[in-house]
């Protein structure tokens, strides 16, 4: 596990709490060092500050996702606006906490992210028996792979969790709150717009025309559903 934080006191506090829960922790103080540490090993989780020297946290996550690295990323920042939160999630962060934060809440979110990472690796959880298929869309919960029309699609961990949940129950309408629970549990501090950002990004990846989706549909006033466009050809597409 890597902690990238240039505030020495904050870094030491996070390191101490993580080690208390049995994690091996490497602490770095800038973005380039964080990238180097990730590339040298296979960490489960990166706790990533946004404002850092040499390369900030947003640059780090851009590079990690462009390299298709699937480790979970929990971003920490003093920037508290919704636009900042949505930008971090849009780039591929799995969770986002603003400073000052409760160390106990931080540890709870770390545990949640690690459980999902381990389940994704095949260490437990539902869906281990096979691939979920919705028309020409295939979601493999064990290998953490998605393919649309036979072409592999790269998803962030958050995007994958939403897609897998909907693929397990095609045509079910999920509310934003239900999808938010798939991402973060029932956390009253996370905006439901988080779901909208993930949906928008998924449409860019699995739809031929993201502005006119036929797979990942909006059910106005309720939420979203995943459907087979061939079976649903008689229904008007959502937006």
Output the domain CATH number for residue 80: 3.40.50.2300
Which of the listed residues 71, 87, 120 is the one where a domain comes to its end? Answer: 120
Q: Nearest-CA neighbor of 62 among 31, 41, 83?
A: 31
- Indicate if 165 and 81 belong to the same structural domain: no
107 with 43, same domain?
A: yes
Beta strands in 69-203 (DSSP E): 72-77, 95-98, 132-134, 137-140, 145-148, 151-153, 174-175
154 plus 220 within the same structural domain: yes
Domain end (from 120, 144, 176): 120
> Can you give the residue range of the structural domain that contains 151?
132-226
Cα 44 from Cα 5, distance rounded (Å): 17
Predicted local distance difference test score (pLDDT) of residue 78 = 80
Q: Which residues of the chain have pLDDT under 50?
A: 121-129, 186-189, 234-237, 239
Q: Coil, strand or helix: which one is 94?
A: coil
The answer to whether residues 115 and 136 belong to one domain is no
Tell me if 236 is assigned to some domain: no
CA distance 116 to 80: 26
SS3 assignment, position 98: strand
Q: What CATH number does residue 151 fall under?
A: 1.10.10.10
Spatial distance between the Cα atoms of 72 and 161, rounded to a whole number of angstroms: 12
Residue 100 forms part of a structural domain: yes
State how many domains the chain has.
Answer: 2
Is the torsion defined by CA of 121, 30, 51, 98 positive or negative?
positive
Q: What element of type H or E holds 193?
A: helix 193-206
Does residue 8 sit in the same domain as residue 104? Answer: yes
Question: How far apart, in whole angstroms, are the C-alpha atoms of residue 205 and residue 207?
Answer: 6
Residues 13 and 98 in one domain: yes
Distance in angstroms (rounded) separating the CA atoms of residues 122 and 130: 11
Alpha-helix residue ranges (DSSP H) falling in the chain: 8-20, 31-40, 57-66, 82-91, 103-120, 157-167, 176-184, 193-206
Tokens of 49: 């500050």
**Does residue 237 fall inside a structural domain?**
no
Q: What is the pLDDT at residue 138?
A: 93
Closest CA to 156 of 199, 185, 127: 199
Chain centroid to CA 28: how far? 23
Calpha distance 152→232 (Å, rounded): 23
Residue-wise pLDDT tens digits, 41-96: 888 899 999 889 998 889 998 898 888 777 889 988 887 666 777 777 778 888 88
d(CA 26, CA 105): 20
Measured between alpha carbons, how far is 101 from 121 in angstroms, rounded to an integer?
A: 29
Whether residue 178 sits in one domain with residue 88: no
Q: Residue 196: helix, strand or coil by DSSP?
A: helix
């Amino acid at each position: 596990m890597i902690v990238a934080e240039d505030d020495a006191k904050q870094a030491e506090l996070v390191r101490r709490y993580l080690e208390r829960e049995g994690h091996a922790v490497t602490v770095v103080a800038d973005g380039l060092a964080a990238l180097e540490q990730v590339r040298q090993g296979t960490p489960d989780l990166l706790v990533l500050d946004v404002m850092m020297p040499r390369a900030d946290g947003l640059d780090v996550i851009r590079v990690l996702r462009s390299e298709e690295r699937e480790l979970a990323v929990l971003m920490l920042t003093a920037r508290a606006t919704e636009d900042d939160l949505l930008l971090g999630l849009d780039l591929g962060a799995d969770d986002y906490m603003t400073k000052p934060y409760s160390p106990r809440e931080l540890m709870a979110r770390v545990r949640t992210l690690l459980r999902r990472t381990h389940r994704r690796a095949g260490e437990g959880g539902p869906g281990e028996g096979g691939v979920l298929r919705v028309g020409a869309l295939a979601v493999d919960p064990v290998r953490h792979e998605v393919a649309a029309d036979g072409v592999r699609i790269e998803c962030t961990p958050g995007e994958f969790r939403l897609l897998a949940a909907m693929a397990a129950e095609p045509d079910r309408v999920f509310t934003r709150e239900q999808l938010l629970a798939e991402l973060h549990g029932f956390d009253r501090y996370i905006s439901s717009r988080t779901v909208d950002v993930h949906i928008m990004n998924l449409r860019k990846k699995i739809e031929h025309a993201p502005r006119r989706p036929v797979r990942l549909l909006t059910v106005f006033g309720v939420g979203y559903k995943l459907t087979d466009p061939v079976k649903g050809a008689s229904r008007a597409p959502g937006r």
